[in-house]
């Protein structure tokens, strides 16, 4: 009991240490832009594949903007015609012609904008789809050490929230920016053709506002990056507390959990408040610039009209031109929070995509291992990245074909780490592991792992039918009769018969399964896979004694003639193992069968009898 309490305390300390390290990694993230230009360049590279659609969208956007810029010139003609009519006789034909032409212009502009929107949406969805596919592919290429440094919730936030942010920005801003630039330059050109003095007046009134906007943009970017990072941190913690909800309840740690949540929430609120406060200055500023431009045009234009240097219609046209001239700035102010959040999202997405991957193994040849292959550990040494502590020290052992090898020892002895090295979830620092005469370093991870089935303490079932969960990754190459026999062997047959749709019953939140039933399903899954070697990491920890015996018999039948590795804290389950390796502090301190180790009267004997309170 004391050992169990010590084990729980050690696990809690490990969890707390991991959480602290994750927080440090988030907090130590730079608060400013890391590589905005590089990230944006890579994002634009994603659009090259769809450049024809994009070019069409650009052409239509430019055409729409040109039409919009041209319309005020016709409105000026209309005003002048009406002014002349007030002084003499109305030319109804000319007025009708101009009105019809203006209506056609605006209808044409609207249709072109609609086509632009469809093209932009098409490109946006294709780009975001590609981003998500590459991020999904990237996850499978990253070493496990990456997931120890970055919170799962933060990764989820990058795949979902950040990509959604990019999608929103692309759909709104891609052609919108081109349209704004075209309208900006076109309005300047039309203003110059109309009147140079009024043009200088309009441009001069906007320069000051533009300078302030650029300064605010630079400062806001840092704050929006920090906001996205805090959002990832928040998602990570929420994912943790919901997955560990029962643990929090059992330890009455609701208060501590709430305090940590409040801390994350306050950090997010603070960074979001600062970012939004600064960005909200943009809209009032652009409004002021626009209004100041109107006033300037009205004052200067009135003076020129009184002096008879320009007709009244030019002033009307100029007021529209000023609106077209300042509207791009207004759009920037309106979409500034979105654009800044997008820049931060782009950085985070490509930071993930640029993370260091596992070494490519395309050059390695394919190996087909025999079921009669031995497993040799040759002076293996290993320590986790970023730590100076060595977890495995000069470990050597040989496992004969078909043997059942049990690995036991106290928490932190290196049992699970050893199996992770065998599966190449981590790479050893020194030494070698051989299956037969082949080093696992010379094999691809895929070739190596397809020879193993794993049953872990933490059960994993995905949302799908019972049948789909049982035949996972086997391409359904098993008959229903064979599946029935396996389920009967494991003790699942009664459960499947009791389900409303048998094998076709969907496993979801509505279907309540006990921990033992879930474990039975994962064991049956391993039996269905029928691979040469088996790894059991506390595989029977969630089942009762009667069921444990049944499953143990099933495993004995399954692994006859095959090599199996069993990690167990419950030593009663490994009494019939061919070889027991006793580990402590990364070294083998004892080895032998159960009876041999009991006779040695050493560490294993004390460990074994301590579980049964035998004196």
241-280 pLDDT, tens digit each? 766 666 676 666 677 777 778 888 888 888 777 777 766 6
* Domain end residue (candidates: 321, 353, 385): 353
Residue 233: closest CA among 510, 533, 28: 28
pLDDT of residue 356: 86
Same domain, 385 and 473: yes
Residue 31 placed within a domain? no
Whether 16 shows a pLDDT value over 60: the answer reads no
Residue 419: closest CA among 402, 397, 386: 397
CA 586 to CA 383: how far, in whole Å?
10
Same domain, 145 and 292: yes
Whether 190 shows a pLDDT value over 70: the answer reads yes
Whether 33 shows a pLDDT value over 70: the answer reads no
Contact (CB, 8 A) for 401 and 372: yes
Contact (CB, 8 A) for 113 and 144: no
Burial class, 458, CB count within 10 angstroms (exposed 0-12 / middle 13-18 / buried 19+): exposed
pLDDT of residue 432: 92
Residue 369 placed within a domain? no
Residue 192 placed within a domain? yes
pLDDT band at 13 (very low <50, low <70, confident <90, very high): very low
* Cα–chain center distance at 517: 31
Written as six digits, the tokens of 579 are 């070889």
Same domain, 477 and 421: yes
Residue 552 placed within a domain? yes
Written as six digits, the tokens of 250 are 């059992």
pLDDT of residue 32: 41
482-539 pLDDT, tens digit each? 888 888 888 888 888 888 888 888 887 778 787 778 888 888 888 888 888 888 887 6
CA 345 to CA 170: how far, in whole Å?
12
**Higher per-residue pLDDT: 427 or 34:** 427
Whether 479 shows a pLDDT value over 80: the answer reads yes
Residue 581: beta bridge partners? Answer: 407, 591
CATH code: domain of residue 292 = 1.20.1560.10
Number of domains observed in the structure of the chain? 2
Same domain, 338 and 381: no
Percent of the chain surpassing pLDDT 90: 0
Residue 293 placed within a domain? yes
Buried b (16+ CB within 10 A) or exposed e, 48-85: eebeebbebbbebbbbbbbbbbebbbbbbbbbbbeeee
Q: What is the residue range of 404's domain?
A: 375-610
* Domain end residue (candidates: 353, 384, 405): 353
Same domain, 320 and 398: no
370 φ/ψ sector (left φ>0, alpha ψ -120 to 50, else beta): beta
Report the run of H or E that residue 407 belongs to, with start and end: strand 404-408
CA 546 to CA 501: how far, in whole Å?
27
CA 347 to CA 522: how far, in whole Å?
39
N- to C-terminal Cα separation, the chain: 14
448-464 pLDDT, tens digit each? 888 888 888 777 788 88
Same domain, 535 and 603: yes
Q: Which residues contact 270 (CB under 8 A, 6 or more apart)?
A: none
Residue 517 placed within a domain? yes
* Domain end residue (candidates: 320, 353, 386): 353
From the CB of residue 129, how many other CB atoms can be counted at a distance below 10 Å?
Answer: 12
Going 275 to 276 to 279 to 285, the CA torsion angle's sign is negative
Same domain, 315 and 392: no
Same domain, 169 and 67: yes
Q: Which residues contact 176 (CB under 8 A, 6 or more apart)?
A: 331, 335
Written as six digits, the tokens of 202 are 């309009």
**Higher per-residue pLDDT: 592 or 13:** 592
Same domain, 390 and 281: no
Report the run of H or E that residue 118 belongs to, with start and end: helix 92-141
pLDDT band at 22 (very low <50, low <70, confident <90, very high): very low
Residue 388 placed within a domain? yes
97-130 pLDDT, tens digit each? 878 888 888 888 788 878 877 887 788 888 888 8
Same domain, 300 and 429: no
Whether 93 shows a pLDDT value over 70: the answer reads yes
Q: Decide: helix, strand or coil at residue 351.
A: helix
**Higher per-residue pLDDT: 216 or 480:** 480
Same domain, 453 and 341: no
CA 472 to CA 518: how far, in whole Å?
14
* Mean pLDDT of all residues belonging to the chain: 76
CATH code: domain of residue 564 = 3.40.50.300
Whether 193 shows a pLDDT value over 70: the answer reads yes
CA 404 to CA 552: how far, in whole Å?
12
pLDDT of residue 15: 36
Same domain, 440 and 347: no
316-362 pLDDT, tens digit each? 777 777 777 767 666 665 666 677 778 888 888 888 888 888 888 77
Residue 615 placed within a domain? no
CA 79 to CA 194: how far, in whole Å?
15
36-80 pLDDT, tens digit each? 677 777 777 777 778 788 778 778 877 877 777 777 777 767 777
From the CB of residue 326, how many other CB atoms can be counted at a distance below 10 Å?
Answer: 25
């Amino acid at each position: 009991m004391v050992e169990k309490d010590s084990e729980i305390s050690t696990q809690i300390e490990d969890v707390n240490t991991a959480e602290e390290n994750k927080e440090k990694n988030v907090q130590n993230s730079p608060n400013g832009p890391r590589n905005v230009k590089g990230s944006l360049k890579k994002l634009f590279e994603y659009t090259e594949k769809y450049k024809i659609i994009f070019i069409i969208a650009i052409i239509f956007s430019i055409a729409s903007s040109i039409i919009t810029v041209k319309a005020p010139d016709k409105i000026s003609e209309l005003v002048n015609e009406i002014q002349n009519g007030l002084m003499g006789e109305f030319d109804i034909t000319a007025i009708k012609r101009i009105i019809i032409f203006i209506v056609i212009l605006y209808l044409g502009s609207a249709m072109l904008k609609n086509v632009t929107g469809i093209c932009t949406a098409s490109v946006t969805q294709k780009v975001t789809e590609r981003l998500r596919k590459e991020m999904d592919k990237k996850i499978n290429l990253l070493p496990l050490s990456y997931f120890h440094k970055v919170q799962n919730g933060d990764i989820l936030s990058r795949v979902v929230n950040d990509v959604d942010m990019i999608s929103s920005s692309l759909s709104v801003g891609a052609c919108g920016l081109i349209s704004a630039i075209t309208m900006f330059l076109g309005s300047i050109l039309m203003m110059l053709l109309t009147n140079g003095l009024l043009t200088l007046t309009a441009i001069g009134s906007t320069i000051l506002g533009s300078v302030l906007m650029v300064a605010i943009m630079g400062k806001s970017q840092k704050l929006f990056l920090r906001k996205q990072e805090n959002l990832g941190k928040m998602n990570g913690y929420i994912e943790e507390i919901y997955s560990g909800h029962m643990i929090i309840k059992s330890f009455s740690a609701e208060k501590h959990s709430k305090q940590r949540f409040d801390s994350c929430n306050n950090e997010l609120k603070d960074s979001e408040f600062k970012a939004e406060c600064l960005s909200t200055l943009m809209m009032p500023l652009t409004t002021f610039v626009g209004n100041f431009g109107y006033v300037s045009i009205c004052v200067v234009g009135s003076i020129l009209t009184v002096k008879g240097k320009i007709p009244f219609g030019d002033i009307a046209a100029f007021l529209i031109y000023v609106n077209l001239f300042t509207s791009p700035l207004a759009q920037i102010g309106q979409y500034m929070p979105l654009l800044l959040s997008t820049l931060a999202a782009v950085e985070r997405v490509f930071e993930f995509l640029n993370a260091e991957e596992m070494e490519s193994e395309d050059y390695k040849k394919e190996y087909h291992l025999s079921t009669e292959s031995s497993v040799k550990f040759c002076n293996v040494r290993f320590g986790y990245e970023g730590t100076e502590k060595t977890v495995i020290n000069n470990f050597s052992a040989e496992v004969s074909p078909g043997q059942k090898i049990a690995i036991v020892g106290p928490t932190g002895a290196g049992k699970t780490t050893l199996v992770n090295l065998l599966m190449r979830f981590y790479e050893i620092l020194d030494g070698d592991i051989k299956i037969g005469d082949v080093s696992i370093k010379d094999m691809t991870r895929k070739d190596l792992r397809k020879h193993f089935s794993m049953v872990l303490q933490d059960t994993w079932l995905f949302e799908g039918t019972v049948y789909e969960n049982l035949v996972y990754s086997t391409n359904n190459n098993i008959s229903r009769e064979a599946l029935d026999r396996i389920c009967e062997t494991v003790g699942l047959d009664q459960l499947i018969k009791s389900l409303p749709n048998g094998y076709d019953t969907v496993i979801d939140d509505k279907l309540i399964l006990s921990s033992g039933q879930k474990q039975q399903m994962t064991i049956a899954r391993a039996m269905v896979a029928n691979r040469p070697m088996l790894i059991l990491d506390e595989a029977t920890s969630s089942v009762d004694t009667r069921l444990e015996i049944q499953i143990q018999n099933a495993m004995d039948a399954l692994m006859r003639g095959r090599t199996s590795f069993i990690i167990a804290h419950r030593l009663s389950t490994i009494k019939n193992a061919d070889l027991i390796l006793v580990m402590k502090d990364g070294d083998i301190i004892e080895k032998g069968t159960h009876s041999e180790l009991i006779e040695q009267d050493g560490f294993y004997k004390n460990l074994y009898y301590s579980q049964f309170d035998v004196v």
